[in-house]
A and B are shown apart, each in its own frame.
Chain A
């Protein structure tokens, strides 16, 4: 049996309504669980980047990447291992305000984990921690005993160590178009 590994999938796309559906359907059809999914405009104007985290075999992810690239509005898709990317997640923790003043441990945890308090009011305060999964998990485990009012974690955001070359693809297309004219 081929081993399943965590992969970060990066997809560069045109801004097209519905593309999200097309891409998620490719995973759905194959019963692949998406562990995290984020999308934003990337460094190139009007080009969007999806970051998807999945656990799959390498031969499986290769096929999925080809199916994604086959979509007309996808410029290019890649997959990378954790070692090939720099990635982070952000977590928000909402805690009752009196625990902050009554429990010294909380203050220590915040300091030690390099977390940030982003809002304080008489009823609650909100802590933000950006880091690896095990770091946000650690803070979660430390805060949970004092009662978390709410907890949420973002999808992974990642950049790769290697070059993506999206501008090259776009410029090549521009030049071809010029030549045709």
Chain B
């Protein structure tokens, strides 16, 4: 009898894998090391159930988990060992926190009896990651594993999503115990989806029905809440022009007649200018980031503001609003749609068109049909649009190319824009594209990366090769840290301090990883090369050499008002 009982016990490490399987995890990203070895031994045994992707750096693992979460809508998982393995995750965790990405990170830790002794590869990862995690927990006993993992997945995914870190001491991975798994369905101190106040819906509907010049600004909340359908019906019934924040991109197709473009520092001219002209601003699942608002003292002062938001802490945080509607926007949009009149704002929409014409003449025309010899980032994006038919997921890094990618990508489907918005993490795109492709294997994934950010995580080409993952990587190479250079040109009298890059041969590097690769320098080669890349069934690295000192416009200088947006 006793023997029987003993045989039913499993190790903490096995319990980790079994718990992951219970959470329907079949894919994780990670990097092994001393303190996590028992868990890796179980990955080996369970390799038919859980596919472990070995990245080339822990930062690659966490960004891949983010990319996976963003393209699939599921929770991404990253695994690392203690000490440097754990600290290498921190940038990605911070990125996931500020961009509300559901990920669970599992780190190994030195045995419990060595905690606090400065043991080999001991670091206080719980302490280090605390300000950038939604929740974290250190497990020191195997018996805690199922409950804590269940809680981790529940917390990461529910309400406003975010990163959770679980640190597991090595002794807990070895310890044997009776494994039983129960999914977490609620935590008494945590109310992820606040109940919607009906009165607020009625107040908001009244403002909408009486507005003459309303403007919608939506963010990632629409995508995170799976509310694309409800959002589209709301926009169409209300007839209100709708603009997006960078993370909101693709929730409504780019070509939708009421989609008036991007707001913010490098957003479109019309929606920025008219933010300060509208009489009602309807903010949906966005957080009034400073890159969106510019100077808050002059932001939409003339307008009444409605804010649909799941996180109560965002209400009145940066911008004081008139009608807060706290709750899941999938529900609040549905309720709101029922209470508003069908309307259209022809004259008001015309003002957006007029300003778009101005932006076209001053900026877009030169970006897309340049007269100069050098290639532009804008025409590169148009070529990508042409051959993907706008169906691809565009994963962008951080900098000029990111702004260009979001401005000119033609998004048709939702969840097509994956980028590091809030944290602005250079090096995000290459590993995130790996995750994005694995999270949506049927979709084309094109990573658009600058030459600077590319070299921050370039080693993940090894992961792409090992996994034979058909992601398409476009390097927009201007031999500069372009965005910083642009600021130096505009605000630091062209003192180009440490922004010029002396770059290696990117094609040779890709080829050294056995990946197909080519370089484009002339306009006549651009479209054929992009076409070859998209038609390829294999991973592909395309370097496009673009004009060195192009600037991204429009631009709201930092600290200026949205209405002071510059076209040149």
Contact = CB atoms under 8 A, between A and B. Distances in A.
A63 B189 contact: no
Interface residues of B, number: 21
B297 interface: no
Interface string B107-141: 00000000000000000001100110011101000
Interface in B300-314: 311-313
Given A62-B316, A66-B313, A13 B185 contact: no
B313 A63 contact: yes
A59 B315 CA distance: 12
Interface string A59-79: 100110011011011110000
Query: Per DSSP, are chain B's interface residues mostly helix, strand or loop, or mixed?
Result: mixed
Interface stretch (A14-22, A33-41, A111-119, A133-141): A14-22
Contacts of B312: 66, 69-70
B491 interface: no
Given A70-B311, A72-B155, A173-B186, A63 B127 contact: no
B189 A25 contact: no
Given A25-B131, A169-B188, A18 B313 contact: no
Contacts of A14: 188-189
A22 B130 contact: yes
B187 interface: yes
A63 B316 contact: yes
A176 to B, nearest CB: 7
A7 B167 CA distance: 36
Contact of A13 (B126, B136, B189, B317): B189
A74 B187 CA distance: 10
B136 A69 contact: no
Contacts of B190: 72-73
Most B C-beta atoms less than 10 A away, residue of A13, A25, A173, A174 = A173
Contact of B189 (A18, A62, A66, A74): A74
Highest count of chain B CB atoms <10 Å: which of A29, A70, A169: A70
A104 interface: no
Contacts of A13: 189
Which residue among A22, A72, A173 has the maximum number of chain B CB atoms within 10 Å of its CB? A72
Given A13-B189, A67-B313, 9 more contacts: A17-B138, A18-B126, A21-B130, A59-B316, A62-B316, A66-B313, A72-B134, A74-B189, A177-B186
- 9 smallest CB-CB distances across A and B, nearest first, come from A66-B313, A173-B188, A75-B189, A72-B135, A70-B313, A72-B190, A25-B131, A14-B189, A73-B189
14 contacts: A14-B188, A17-B138, A21-B127, A22-B130, A22-B131, A63-B317, A66-B317, A70-B313, A72-B134, A169-B188, A176-B186, A177-B186, A180-B185, A180-B186
Interface of B: 126-127, 130-131, 134-136, 138, 155, 185-190, 311-313, 315-317
